[in-house]
Chain A
């Protein structure tokens, strides 16, 4: 899995491409978020539009990301979730935990 990173003002947008599944991509997402926080980033937007599959370990990484970001006083948003990702987040009720957007402009504007 590849994670691209781009910047919009003070917002870091991470885009994981491929699978966020056990042993494949889950650790990469964790490392990317940690790098953003360590370099002073406080607003992180994860674009899941190119994420093809996420299993329960991938969901665990999203939860861990939420915890890490919150602990560091930063903000996390998700955007561009596919139908199947929304379904999995709905089943696990994690959809209630995140601020989720379908549009990048709205997601960017939502940061304080």
Chain B
């Protein structure tokens, strides 16, 4: 899916992610946590990548393969150094108003990686093991 760089679009991201996760038989807790990770990645792409209200788009790609759900969130921003981000759990940062999005993403997903394109743009790749093979989920639907 592709969304505009507007925070309103995150409602659509929520709906699509939650629907897909339920279809894949994630339990309620995992649906809540994984969809929040997707929201955080998309919100970062808007806020820190493209800039809110800008003309650039945010791309969100869901791929299911080998019992893993892979989610890629791409923006056209100038990127950042993940190693240089302040630790939101450090005592001096605990009461800062921002800086917790990536912590939530890493807490809720099995893997989170950042890649920066030569021509500009950041791709956040997150992976989560699916509770059952998508083929099984399809069969369940057909058998109902």
Residues from 17 to 76 in A contacting B, C-beta threshold 8 Å: 21-24, 53, 55-57, 59-61, 63-64, 66-67
Residues from 81 to 111 in A contacting B, C-beta threshold 8 Å: 83-84, 87-88, 91-94, 97
Cα–Cα, bound, A60→B32 (Å): 19
Check if B7 sits within 8 Å of A24, measured CB to CB: yes
Number of residues on chain A facing chain B (CB within 8 A): 24
> What A residues does B33 contact at CB under 8 A?
84, 87
Check if A63 sits within 8 Å of B96, measured CB to CB: yes
Check if B101 sits within 8 Å of A56, measured CB to CB: yes
Check if A22 sits within 8 Å of B10, measured CB to CB: yes
Interface SS of chain A: helix, strand, loop or mixed? Answer: helix
**B36 CB–A CB distance under 8 Å:** yes
**B130 CB–A CB distance under 8 Å:** no
Check if B29 sits within 8 Å of A92, measured CB to CB: no
Check if A60 sits within 8 Å of B98, measured CB to CB: yes
Cα–Cα, bound, A93→B104 (Å): 11
Contacts A84-B29, A97-B95 given; does A91 touch B104 at CB 8 Å: yes
Which A residues have a C-beta under 8 Å from some C-beta of B? Answer: 21-24, 53, 55-57, 59-61, 63-64, 66-67, 83-84, 87-88, 91-94, 97
Which B residues have a C-beta under 8 Å from some C-beta of A? Answer: 7-8, 10-11, 14, 29, 32-33, 36, 39-40, 43, 47, 52, 88-89, 94-101, 103-104, 107
Q: Which 7 A-B pairs have the closest CB atoms?
A: A23-B7, A60-B97, A56-B101, A56-B100, A91-B107, A64-B97, A22-B43
